[in-house]
Amino acid sequence: TTRHATPSIPSRSLQTQQPANILEEARAKLHVSSVPESLPCREQEFQDIYSFVESKIIDSTGGCMYISGVPGTGKTATVHEVIRCLQHAANMDEIPPFHFIEINGMKMTDPHQAYVQILQKLTGQKATADHAAALLEKRFSNLAHRKETTVLLVDELDLLWTRKQNVLYNLFEWPTRRHTRLVVLTIANTMDLPERIMINRVASRLGLTRMSFQPYTFRQLLQIIMSRLNKMRAFEEDALQLVSRKVAALSGDARRCLDICRRATEICEQSASDPNSTVLVGMSHMMEALNEMFSSPYVTAIKCASTQEQFFLRAVIAEFRRLGVEEATFQQVFVQHQALCRVEGLQSISVSEGLAVCQRLGACRLLLLETSCLGVLQRVRLNVSQDDILYALKAN
Amino acid sequence: MTALLKHPGYNEERLQRVAEQLPCREVQVGMLLSLMGQPQQYSYPSVFIYGHRASGKSHVMHVLMKELELPHATVSCVECVSVVLLFEQVLLSFFGCDAASLLPRSPSLSDFVRIYRQQCSQSPAKQTRYIVMEKAELLRDTDASLLPALLRLQELVEDNVTVILLSEIIWDKFRPNTGCFEPLLLHFPDYSKGELQQILSQNRHSSYSAEFYSTYINILLGVFYSVCRDLRELRHLAALNFSKFCEPLAEGKVKETDTHKLWKHIEPHLKKAMQTVYLREVSSLQWEQMQQMEEKEAGALRGLSAHTHVELPYYSKFLLIAAYLASYNPARTDKRFFLKHHGKIRKTNFLKKNEKTSNHLLGPKPFPLDRLLAIFYSVVDSRVAPTASIFSQISSLVTLQLLAQVSHDDQLDAPKYKCAVSLEFICAISRTVNFDIVKYLYDFL
């Protein structure tokens, strides 16, 4: 029997359809995977990284750089663009040629796989992790003259952390050797990662060449969308203002911003009566998309819960108020539940049904429960704030 | 019973045979049969059957599967120490040993599902297949994804398969924290006294009449029903004591109909059996041998629990006594018991509010090694050097489970112990070394 152990995306048999109307075209342009030629609002960062790598290549030395920033601030895209420009320059014989390899911590099953992947991308050789480490060690310590510089991009650096930190150590140790001609660019999310998780000898080798990508402001987000749309009239001006202000206030994540815009075009398309008419995406569509993305599913879940489940949540809050602690056992809550049922004139339920109600709420993570083996003695805590529950219960 | 016999899709003769083998379970069997539907119909994905021990859960499933010749796999979760065995048994009984050999060495759930589907596409189910899991409460201790997967196995393998879980524990204590597909719950209630009588009277002795045996069962239930409703245990007791019941008949002293005399004869005997046989103090074989021997009175033999006499070295005995005193006396009374010039202190001075209850009811308390040795030196009359042998005796008392170490195992400097022997045992030991332990116990002051 054949086993397809490696999961993969099924291959496309049909050609992708060309965008038919203006909204579909806008959607294609706003897709996260269609990275534009030049990144707007990242000119300064681009310049810094470019000059760093270029100087290392021209001087034929090695070095490390640490790039940090919250998700969706364009770190990886900027580095890729830098490499693209450098390769273009190398092709034009403006700078010496160099070799670029990229590894991603997320794509590895084990931190030590980094050695295997680096070796494979450098030489095409396949080896076990230990053997690959030895081979790389030999390659980088060899004083023989290397012809070209290697630029190594390490994405998701924090996942390469091991207890002895030998992978990180080696990654930062190799560029410091003489004649290695290795430039390591590392990307991670937190700014203080070297200080938090790395031991001193690793952090010191990483050096102080750091760069942090600030989250986009609303003006920058607006500019990104505008540059992507490239003067295409699909959105109302106010709608774009709204989405960029909302996203900038929350996270400054460009990907999130693009997703919301694409969702808004879909909503606009559905609401339009005639599919061929040219309708602009307005404020109402954008509001709807924003609500879909940002509203808490907990409140909706509580609103849609059954009567007994809502009563149970109410009993939990009542019991917490009585105890003054944010934790109670199931039997304490159940006594409250029965009293509540009696007050509301409902038939009180059995303990088994009560446990079923409680465990259903626990399964959708409205409550935090202990293991069900404990029966009526399991402790109940809330996973949502009491205000959210009261708001949701009051609404209906 | 007529309702049971009219299930479409099943042979009527077989249903008749099922009904004969399953007395007093008509309602449950009828319910199960209607859940199962006709053989080729899809049944509910999972059924959870619960009831007390010996309420006929496994028996009902076994008879139904056997007599109606349904394709089934019966798996005991006690035997399946790893999931491999479970998967193997299921595949083996559905598709033969070729399928079971396809499993890799340490198969995951997805391996099982993959092989099941592959086999199933070669030999699709003509009837509903049943997987009966006995002692299903052990499934909770295995991989957390196993129970939810079994509950919706029908959906996963896309085959006409039903998983039946048997357990003594209610479903509420099974439900995984992440939620799962809810099975149908079916309760098997306890047998009533009348039903027990009916079932027990069925396997009567061939040389005696049915009424005679049913009288015997009636007397037996009269004695034992208040303490035991377990059918298996009662059946065992009935078989064990029947020969004694028939004795006067064999000697020709009474007739079969003379119920009162028979009762007079057997009743004290059964009362005695309750003390000895039910707890398996005297093994069943010994009990039967005793009944043969006329002169030896039942219960004269010393049971298992009477053998509490243990031979210990001299200092070990004192160590054990010291441990007992340390466990059951409060530490602040040590001065009064073991120091020579302590002055007169009455018990009322010691009494605190929370010490109204006896220490013997609360169980032994932990004590440090220093206290044990201090009491030990004071109760032993001669001078004892703290040699290695004393300390090794302490640790061997721990391995004999007469003491229990409560602190962490690797602690060398201040280990804590508890005394794990009963009062009778320690009294017997202190008698052998002429030490009056009751005088030193705070509870008996």
DSSP string, B127-175: S-EEEEEESGGGGGGS-TTHHHHHHTHHHHHTSSEEEEEEESS-GGGT-
Q: What angle do CA A156, A162, A168 make, to 5 degrees?
A: 60
Q: Pairing relation of β-strands A149-155 and A182-188?
A: parallel
CB B373 within 8 A of CB B417: no
Angstroms from A144 CA to nearest CA on chain B: 48
Chain A hits for B117, Cβ within 8 Å: none
Percentage, residues of chain B above pLDDT 70: 89
pLDDT for the residue B258: 82
The answer on pLDDT for B295 being more than 50 is no
Contact A359/B at CB under 8 A? yes
B173·A373 Cβ contact <8 A:
yes
Tokens 């402001």 — which residue?
A: A217
Q: Which two tokens stand for residue A91?
A: 């092709």
Name the nearest CA neighbour of B171 among B214, B202, B139.
Answer: B139
Q: Tally the C-alpha atoms within 13 A of residue A359's C-alpha that lie toward its C-beta.
A: 26
Q: What angle do CA B151, B156, B158 make, to 5 degrees?
A: 115
| Model pTM score | 0.83
pLDDT for the residue B352: 56
CB B131 within 8 A of CB B163: yes
State the Cα–Cα distance between residues A120 and A118, nearest whole angstrom.
5
Smallest Cβ–Cβ distance between B140 and the set A355, A362, A373 belongs to A373
Smallest Cβ–Cβ distance between B175 and the set A1, A364, A372 belongs to A372
The answer on pLDDT for B164 being more than 60 is yes
CB B410 within 8 A of CB B319: no
Interface test with B, best of A371, A374, A378, A383 (most B CBs within 10 A): A371
Amino acid identity for residue A160 in this structure: L
State the Cα–Cα distance between residues A147 and A156, nearest whole angstrom.
29
Tokens 């039910």 — which residue?
A: B278
Contact B50/A at CB under 8 A? no
- The dihedrals phi and psi of B248, each to the nearest 5 degrees, come to -60, -30
The answer on pLDDT for B300 being more than 60 is no
Q: Given pLDDT bands bounded at 50, 70 and 90, which one contains residue B138?
A: very high
Helix (H, G, I), strand (E, B) or coil at B368: strand
A372·B102 Cβ contact <8 A:
no
- What is B314-339+358-440's CATH topology? Arc Repressor Mutant, subunit A (1.10.10)
A356·B140 Cβ contact <8 A:
no
Q: How many contiguous H segments (helices) and E segments (strands) does chain B have? A: 21, 8
Contact A360/B at CB under 8 A? yes
* CA nearest to B138 within chain A: A373
Helix (H, G, I), strand (E, B) or coil at A54: helix
State the Cα–Cα distance between residues A221 and A254, nearest whole angstrom.
7
- The dihedrals phi and psi of A373, each to the nearest 5 degrees, come to -60, -25
Which helix or strand (DSSP H or E) is residue B367 part of? strand B367-368
pLDDT for the residue B1: 44
Amino acid identity for residue A130 in this structure: D
Lowest mean pLDDT among B119-128, B277-286, B341-350: B341-350
A362·B177 Cβ contact <8 A:
yes
Name the nearest CA neighbour of B273 among B308, B305, B238.
Answer: B238
A352·B172 Cβ contact <8 A:
yes
CB A66 within 8 A of CB A211: yes
Q: Any residues with CB less than 8 A from the CB of B248 and at least 6 apart, and which?
A: B254, B261, B262, B265
pLDDT for the residue B249: 83
Name the nearest CA neighbour of A175 among A215, A219, A216, A206.
Answer: A206
Name the nearest CA neighbour of B108 among B79, B149, B76, B77.
Answer: B149
Q: Any residues with CB less than 8 A from the CB of B337 and at least 6 apart, and which?
A: B325, B329, B440, B442
Name the nearest CA neighbour of A68 among A2, A154, A142.
Answer: A154
Contact A331/B at CB under 8 A? no
CB A152 within 8 A of CB A182: yes
Q: Per-residue pLDDT for chain A (396 aa), expressed as one digit of tens each?
A: 555 667 788 888 888 888 878 888 888 889 988 888 888 889 999 999 999 999 999 988 889 999 999 998 999 999 999 999 999 999 999 999 999 999 999 999 999 999 999 999 998 999 999 999 999 998 888 766 567 889 999 999 999 999 889 999 999 999 888 778 899 999 999 988 888 888 888 888 888 889 999 999 999 999 999 998 887 888 888 999 999 999 999 888 999 999 999 999 999 888 876 666 667 888 999 999 999 888 888 999 999 999 999 999 999 999 999 999 999 999 999 999 999 999 999 998 999 999 999 999 999 999 999 999 999 999 999 999 999 999 999 876
The answer on pLDDT for B56 being more than 60 is yes
Mean pLDDT for the stretch of residues B217-221? 91
Name the nearest CA neighbour of B179 among B141, B155, B153, B147.
Answer: B147
Higher pLDDT pick, B73 / B205: B73
Higher pLDDT pick, B4 / B421: B421
pLDDT for the residue A340: 95
Q: Where are the alpha helices (DSSP H) in chain A?
A: 22-29, 43-59, 75-91, 113-123, 129-141, 166-173, 193-197, 200-206, 218-229, 237-250, 254-271, 283-294, 297-303, 307-323, 330-344, 351-363, 386-395
pLDDT for the residue B304: 60
How long a stretch of residues is chain A?
396
State the Cα–Cα distance between residues B89 and B76, nearest whole angstrom.
10
The answer on pLDDT for B284 being more than 80 is no
Instruction: Give the single-character DSSP code of A372.
Output: G
CB burial of residue B12 (10 Å; 0-12, 13-18, 19+): exposed
The domain made up of B12-187 is a member of CATH 3.40.50.300 = yes
Name the nearest CA neighbour of A311 among A350, A357, A259.
Answer: A357
CB A341 within 8 A of CB A311: yes
CB B25 within 8 A of CB B187: no
Name the nearest CA neighbour of B318 among B432, B441, B444, B443.
Answer: B432
State the Cα–Cα distance between residues A230 and A226, nearest whole angstrom.
6
Q: What angle do CA B209, B196, B212 make, to 5 degrees?
A: 15
Smallest Cβ–Cβ distance between B177 and the set A352, A369, A375 belongs to A369
Chain B hits for A379, Cβ within 8 Å: none
Name the nearest CA neighbour of A114 among A99, A129, A127.
Answer: A129
The answer on pLDDT for B6 being more than 80 is no
Q: Domain coordinates of chain B in residue numbers?
A: 12-187, 193-305, 314-339+358-440
B118·A1 Cβ contact <8 A:
yes
State the Cα–Cα distance between residues A310 and A396, nearest whole angstrom.
11
Name the nearest CA neighbour of B225 among B237, B214, B215.
Answer: B237
Instruction: Give the single-character DSSP code of B207.
Output: T
Q: Given pLDDT bands bounded at 50, 70 and 90, which one contains residue B354?
A: low
Amino acid identity for residue B223 in this structure: V
Q: Pairing relation of β-strands A210-213 and A63-69?
A: parallel
Chain A hits for B176, Cβ within 8 Å: 372
